[in-house]
Amino acid sequence: MRKKISLIGAGQIGGTLAHLITIKELADVVLFDIAEGIAKAKALDIAQSTSVDGHNVSIKGTSNYEDTKNSDVIIITAGIPRKAGMTRDDLLGTNLKIIKQVAEGIKETSPKAFVICITNPLDVIVMALQKYTGFSTNKVVGMAGILDSSRFKYFLSQEIDIPVKKIETMVLGGHGDTMVPMTSYTTVEGKPLNQLITEKKITNEKLDTIIERTRKGGGEISKLLKTGTAFYAPATSGIEMAESYIKNLKKTLPCAAYIDGEYGIKDLYVGVPAVIGNNGVEKIIELKLDSIEKANLEISIKAVKELFQAAIKIDPDLKSK
C-alpha cells in the first residue's frame, strides 16, 4: 500500500512539497491548510498535472484534520514566513501559537507519524512541537541543515567551478545567523577544503565571504522576493528527509534533532548529523570538531537556548512539558 504524507500548511513550501512528492510518486498526499481554498486549489491543480505526466498518486486538499488521519509522515510548514528585513526569531510569537494548534490537530489523528517541521524559528519551533505533541523525540525532527548545506555547497561550487555533486559538506548548529558550516568536513572531489586553500583554488577571505553568505542565505532570497522567503530548496530538503524515512535509506543528514548528551549538550533540538531510517532518527553522529567549530557550535547552541527561554515566556506551558 502507498504511504500517506500530510502537509500541514499549503503555502509556498507546502505546495512545492506536494508537487515534488507527486513527481516522485513517494506517497499519497493530503494538503492541509486553515485557508481551505488554497489547500483545495493546489491539490486540484497538482492532481490535474498527473493527467499530463501520468504520475499515479492521490492528492487531496482539506482543512479537516480527520483527513490527515494515520499519516506515515507529516511535514509542517504552517506559519508565517519572514518579510524582508525580519529575522527568523521575529516569527516566534505568531508561529508558536500556530504550532500549538497544529500539535493539537495531529497528536490524536497520527500518533505514529514521522514529523518533519520546517516552520521557523526552526530549532525552537520543533522543540515546542515535540513537547506539545508528546511524540517520541526520534519521531519529531526539523529541516534546516540540508538546506543550509545546500547553500554552502552551491556557493562553493560557483566559486571554484566544480559541480555540486563533487562537493561534500555539512552545516550544523541552529538555523540562524549562528549556524556552523563545517569546513573541516568539507571535501571537493575527495580533497579536504584546506588543501584547496593551499593549492590557491580558493582564498580564506573568499571562504569567509561564502560562509557569511550561507548564514544569510534565506535573508538574501527574502530581500529579493519582498513578501516571502525561499521555498524550492527548503521543500527539496524536506523531501530528502521524508524519503530517507519512507525508504529506510538510513542517510546521514544534518537535521534539527533532539540530543541528550551528544556534543556535550543535554535536552535540546539543534542541527546535528542524524541517521534517518524507518525508525525515525536512528542515531546522532558525533563529529570531532576543531576548536573554532566547537566554539561556533557553542555560540549557536546558546542562541537556541535563549530563544527557547523566550518561547517559555510566551507560553509557560512549555516549561512543564
Taking the complex as a whole, the smallest distance from the CB of residue 262 to ligand APR amounts, in Å, to: 25
Query: Is 207 or 235 the residue whose CB approaches ligand APR more closely?
Result: 235
Least distance to ligand APR, CB of residue 39, Å: 8
Choice from 35, 224, 295, 299 touching ligand APR (CB under 6 A): 35
- Is 175 designated active site? yes
Say which residues have a Cβ less than 8 Å from residue 244's Cβ, sequence separation at least 6: 250, 251, 253, 276, 277
Residue 209 CA to residue 229 CA, distance in Å, equals 22
Q: Check residue 12 for interaction with ligand APR (CB under 6 A).
A: yes
Nearer to ligand APR, 17 or 211 (CB): 17
User: Judged by CB under 6 A, does residue 149 bind ligand APR?
Assistant: no
303 interacts with ligand APR by CB under 6 A: no
By CB under 6 A, residue 292 contacts ligand APR: no
Q: Cβ atoms within 10 A of the Cβ of 271, count?
A: 32
Question: What is the 3-class SS of 143-154, one letter each residue?
Answer: CCHHHHHHHHHH
Does position 117 interact with ligand APR (CB under 6 A)? The reply is: no
The SS3 assignment for 113 reads coil
Catalytic residue among 4, 153, 175, 215: 175
151 binds ligand APR (CB under 6 A): no
Residue 48: enclosing H or E segment and its boundaries? helix 36-53
Residue type at 104? Answer: E
Gap between the Cα atoms of 17 and 289, Å rounded = 34
Q: Exposed, middle or buried by CB within 10 Å (0-12, 13-18, 19+), for 204?
A: exposed
Smallest gap from residue 80 Cβ to ligand APR (A): 6
The one among 18, 28, 31, 33 contacting ligand APR by CB under 6 A: 33
Radius of gyration (Cα) for the chain, nearest Å? 19
Say whether the peptide bond before residue 121 is cis (omega within 30 degrees of 0). yes
Residue 237 sits in the site that holds ligand APR (CB under 6 A): no
Nearer to ligand APR by Cβ, of 79 and 273: the residue is 79
Q: In this chain, which of 186, 229, 244, 296 binds ligand APR, going by CB under 6 A? A: 229
CA distance 313 to 316: 6
47 near 152, Cβ under 8 Å?
Answer: no
C-alpha cell at position 257: 534533532
* Backbone phi and psi for residue 28, each to the nearest 5 degrees, phi listed first: -75, 150
Half-sphere exposure of 96 (CA within 13 A, CB side): 23
Residue nearest to ligand APR according to CB distances in the complex? 11
193 — alpha (psi -120 to 50), left (phi > 0) or beta?
A: alpha
Is residue 14 at the binding interface for ligand APR, with CB under 6 A as the rule?
Answer: yes
Residues 75-114, one symbol each (x = binds ligand APR by CB under 6 A, - = not), give: --xxx-xx--------x---x--x--xx------------
* Shortest spacing between CB 208 and ligand APR, in angstroms: 26
Half-sphere exposure of 50 (CA within 13 A, CB side): 21
**60 vs 166, beta carbon nearer ligand APR:** 60
Q: Provide the minimum distance between the beta carbon of 241 and ligand APR in the complex, in angstroms, as a whole number.
A: 14
Instruction: Kindly state the smallest distance separating residue 8's Cβ from ligand APR, in Å.
Output: 6
Least Å distance, CB 240 to ligand APR, is 15
Give the footprint of ligand APR on this chain (CB under 6 A): 8-14, 33-35, 38, 77-79, 81-82, 91, 95, 98, 101-102, 118-120, 228-229, 231, 234
Task: Give catalytic residues, as residue numbers.
Answer: 175
